[in-house]
Amino acid sequence: MNIFKALAVKDVDEATKSIPLIDVGPAFRDEPGARDRVAAEVRRACESVGFFYLAGHGVPQGLVDGAFAASREFHAIPLPNKLALKINENNVGYLPVNQSMQRASTVHKATRPNYNESFFISHDRSADHPDVVAGRPLRGRNQWPAGHDAMRAAMVRYFKTMEGLGERVLPLLARALDMPAGHFGPFFTNEAHINLRFLHYPPQETDDEEQFGQGPHTDNSFITMLAREDVPGLAVRLPSGEWLAPPVIPGTFLVNLGNIMKRWSNDRFLSTPHGVLNDSGTDRYSIAFFYSPNIEAAIECLPTCVSASEPARYPRAVYGDLVLDFYNANYFHRKDYTAAAGD
């Protein structure tokens, strides 16, 4: 039986008992005492479930709607034109259906590739950007279809807005881990590693028990901020083992922590399994903003998360190495680059 068949579908009031709704507006407005008060709410959510609804973020709904319109425009492009932009060694571009699999997942051993198509962008670097000229890994240019300038502008505008939101959330996460508010900031300078993924899940057969839109997995980001529409499909595995279908709450993003935050916090904060099964009978779109530190950032367990009784569970590691290991495990196109590197 497909593991999502026992999915618990709950209304908003029930869902927020499991996945808290956190209004960050007072902290963003620097109201007295608000930063630490909101950080305490973030701490409880991150320690108990690893997900929360983010409200009061200040991102205009019109900008979000524009990003979804841009996503639909991209995915409506003829397949041969999209394949001309096929995802590259920097993991930007078009990822066709059935070209990724959650092989690194400890949640569920996938037997089918993911049934979705995606368009990835990162910082919109120019041809003369120093990292582009030097050919630095994971620091290349975006790939854009010709004749879609308005689509490109909407996607870049959303990217930059979400980057700004991520920067404003960093102090709350630092305080949630009992670190100074500015602790994470230096790790995210000089163009943090960000992927914006415009996802399209076509309707799928419901009698294939091993087919997922996105197999159960944990993200490899620091945090992920997800924008959704009303078509269901997402499922989150609660600590109880129950699978919850979190409803869309207008005006919020659904935020989850990734493996990098789990590692940084020495497992104090959770990176929670989730996946997608689009049995709605219609197309489903979502936009995932993966926010992570600079590729040169050194990740080691925070001093507030280790002690004599809780020693560090992870060695010091460079973020760029960690993300390449994840890409190599999950994306089929990576085998071409890893093979070339071994020649």
Domain ranges of the chain: 8-342
- List the beta bridge partners of residue 225: 255, 289
DSSP string computed for 211-230: --SEEEE---SSEEEEEE-S
Q: What pTM does this model have?
A: 0.93
From the candidate CATH numbers 1.10.132.10, 3.30.465.10, 2.60.120.330, 2.40.37.10, the one assigned to the domain spanning 8-342: 2.60.120.330
Residue 332 is predicted with a pLDDT of: 66
Instruction: Identify any residues that bridge with 93 across adjacent strands, giving them in sequence order.
Output: 120
Mean pLDDT per 10-residue interval, the chain, length 343 residues: 62 90 98 98 98 98 98 98 95 87 55 87 97 95 98 98 98 98 97 97 78 88 97 93 93 98 98 92 97 97 97 97 86 58 43
Closest by CA to 190, choosing from 323, 319, 60, is 319
**pLDDT of res. 328:** 84
Residue type, 20: P
Q: Do 54 and 62 form a contact (C-beta atoms < 8 A)? A: no
* Residue range 236-249, pLDDT digits in tens: 999 999 899 999 99
Q: 191 vs 100, 125, 185, 296, 316, CA distance in Å?
A: 26, 10, 12, 11, 22
Alpha carbon distance 89, 87 (integer Å): 7
User: In the prediction, which pLDDT does 94 show?
Assistant: 97
Give the pLDDT of residue 341: 47
Please answer whether residues 86 and 94 qualify as being in contact, where contact means their C-beta atoms are separated by less than 8 angstroms. Answer: yes
Two tokens, residue 169: 């959330």
Whole-number Cα distances in Å, 332 to 95, 234, 266, 337: 10, 23, 30, 10
